[in-house]
């Protein structure tokens, strides 16, 4: 059930290359209101690149991107902030949008870091900083959330709570979410659509479809609970060093 008005961002056969080397190629996907789309795949498979194409950070792309909203919240995978800047959590929260105090407090409470509001951003631990990043992205009540490994460095119980929060936000705000994650088990239950990348789209569909799709059977089979924490990526094809597909 997808009507065109619900589409927030749509990639048509999009690709991006640097110095004639393709980081990702031929990706088509769309994110709709209230839906969670998860990108999975091994390191270097082009997940972050795909997210940046969708966000419009990369402009010289192959194919096209159609963006239907400008209210976007982004949690990047890597963020290097220059600490020559005196920046408190509170200042960081209003970086791209003016927010009132209650909104800031509400978002920080949701991710469990309200007590850090007046702390210097440089003094936070990795997990704390990640929670602040997530709080900042959701505080502006965006139409589209792009979360690139949003819970990296967060402790285990916090991780599950944050994924529940992400699901809740998607329901409450009816916003679309493009999620990149390694830990398949925690995100699968909430995801509406999965895209498996490896320089190109390997397979995509609902989590169940992807799970049944040969390489995921093992992962979602009966022993799932024992191997949940390990995500194995198997292919029906192999890649050359350049990332081209070589059929067996």
Partner 1 sequence: MLDDFFIRALLAGIGVAFVTGPLGCFVIWRRLSYFGDTLAHSALLGVTLAFTMEFNIALSVFVISSMIALILIQLQKRTNLPGDALLGLLAHSSLAVGLVVIGFLTFIRFDIMGLLFGDILAVSVNDLLIIWIGGALILLTLKFIWKPLFASTVNYELAEAEGLNPDRAKAIFTILMAAIIAISIKMVGLLLITGMLIIPAAMARNLSSSPQSMVILSIVGGLLSVIIGLFTSLEFNTSSGPSIITAALLLFILSLFKIKQSIKLKN
Residue ranges in contact with partner 1 by CB under 8 A: 52, 55-57, 70, 72-74, 76, 79-82, 84-88, 90-92, 95-97, 120, 146
Shortest reach from residue 20's CB to partner 1, in Å:
17
67 or 233: whose CB is closer to partner 1?
A: 67
Report the C-alpha gap between 29 and 37 in whole angstroms: 9
Shortest reach from residue 54's CB to partner 1, in Å:
9
Shortest reach from residue 205's CB to partner 1, in Å:
27
79 or 238: whose CB is closer to partner 1?
A: 79
Shortest reach from residue 71's CB to partner 1, in Å:
8
46 or 73: whose CB is closer to partner 1?
A: 73
Q: Give DSSP secondary structure letters for 153-203.
A: T--HHHHHHHHHHHHHHHHHH--EEEEE-S-HHHHHTT-SEEEEESSSEEE
Residue 126: CB atoms within 10 Å: 10
80 or 157: whose CB is closer to partner 1?
A: 80
CA dihedral 141, 56, 30, 180 (to 10 degrees): -70
Token pair recorded at residue 214 = 């040969």
């Amino acid at each position: 059930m997808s009507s065109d008005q619900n589409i927030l961002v749509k990639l048509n056969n999009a690709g991006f290359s640097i110095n004639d080397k393709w980081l990702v190629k031929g990706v088509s996907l769309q994110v709709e209101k209230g839906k969670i789309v998860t990108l999975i795949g091994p390191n270097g498979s082009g997940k972050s690149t795909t997210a940046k194409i969708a966000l419009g950070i990369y402009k010289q792309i192959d194919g096209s991107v159609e963006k239907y909203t400008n209210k976007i919240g982004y949690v990047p995978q890597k963020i290097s902030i220059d600490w020559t800047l005196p920046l408190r959590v509170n200042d960081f929260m209003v970086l791209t949008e003016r927010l009132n105090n209650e909104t800031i407090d509400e978002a920080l409470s949701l991710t469990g870091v309200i007590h850090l509001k007046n702390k210097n951003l440089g003094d936070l631990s990795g997990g704390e900083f990640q929670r602040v990043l997530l709080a900042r992205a959701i505080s502006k009540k965006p139409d589209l959330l792009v979360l690139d490994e949003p819970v990296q460095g967060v402790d285990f119980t916090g991780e599950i709570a944050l994924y529940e929060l992400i699901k809740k936000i998607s329901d409450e705000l009816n916003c679309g979410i493009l999620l990149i994650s390694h830990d398949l088990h925690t995100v699968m239950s909430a995801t509406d659509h999965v895209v498996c990348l490896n320089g190109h789209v390997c397979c995509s569909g609902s989590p169940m479809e992807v799970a049944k799709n040969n390489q995921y059977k093992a992962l979602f089979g009966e022993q799932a609970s024992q191997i949940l924490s390990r995500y194995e990526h198997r292919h029906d094809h192999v890649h050359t060093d350049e990332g081209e597909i070589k059929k067996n």
